[in-house]
Amino acid sequence: MNLFGRKQKQTEAHNHIADDLSQKGLRMTPQRLMIVAAVENSTNHISAEEIYEQVIEKYPNVNISTVYRTLDTLAEMRLVTKTDLGDGRVRYHPADKGHHHHLVCRECGAIIDLDEKALTGIQATLLRDYNFIADLRHLGISGKCVKCNRQVVRET
């Protein structure tokens, strides 16, 4: 599936996103085309820097601030998700490729994928008790994995 979950071919995908953009009075530019393609073609989560490097290979005068601005725009339109795993750089992911969360081990850096259903309970709680619509897509939760915890126990 592509970024939009409808068609297979990139050109059609881009036509579709171009539609989405123009519905909001925004425009599809060559820069945005390449940024969208980079996110779409990444197998897993991709960083802004990695997107930037892919883009300037074909279009060397694009600025990285354009990459960030485009990604923010796409995130606002809910076409991509931003995830802060706490390692100092934000990762991007096509929104239709499934949502999930990440358990990040503070010690060894291991990343454990966590199904999004695991948190639907608190999402409901927050809505009911706090009138708050929590956006838990691609949440990064820090902590300690079993392996690292065992090590501490051994040492002590």
The one-letter amino acid code at 39 reads: V
Inter-residue contact 36 to 72 (CB < 8 Å): no
Return the range that interacts with its own copies (CB under 8 A); candidates 27-35, 53-61, 92-100, 133-141: 133-141
List the single partner that 9 binds among DNA, its own copies, none, CB under 5 to 8 Å by kind.
Answer: none
* φ and ψ at residue 105, rounded to 5 degrees: -75, 125
List the single partner that 131 binds among its own copies, DNA, none, CB under 5 to 8 Å by kind.
Answer: its own copies
Q: Is 26 in the site for DNA (CB under 7 A)?
A: yes
CA dist 6 and 27 (Å) reads: 21
Q: Compare residues 44 and 153 and give the one whose CB is closer to its own copies.
A: 153
Q: How far is CA 2 from CA 8, 10, 41, 94, in A?
A: 6, 8, 8, 8
Q: Is 123 in the site for DNA (CB under 7 A)?
A: no
Residue (of 38, 31, 33) closest to 16 by Cα position: 33
Scan residues 53-92 and list those touching DNA (CB under 7 A).
Answer: 59, 61-66, 68-70, 72-73, 88-90
Q: Compare residues 63 and 125 and give the one whose CB is closer to its own copies.
A: 125
The one-letter amino acid code at 50 reads: E
Structure tokens at 103: 């358990």
Residues sharing a CB contact under 8 Å with residue 117, sequence separation 6 or more, in sequence order: none
Q: How far is the CB of 36 from its own copies (least distance, A)?
A: 22
Scan residues 47-106 and list those touching its own copies (CB under 8 A).
Answer: 84, 86, 103, 105-106
Which residues contribute to the site for DNA (CB under 7 A)?
21, 25-27, 29-32, 47-49, 59, 61-66, 68-70, 72-73, 88-90
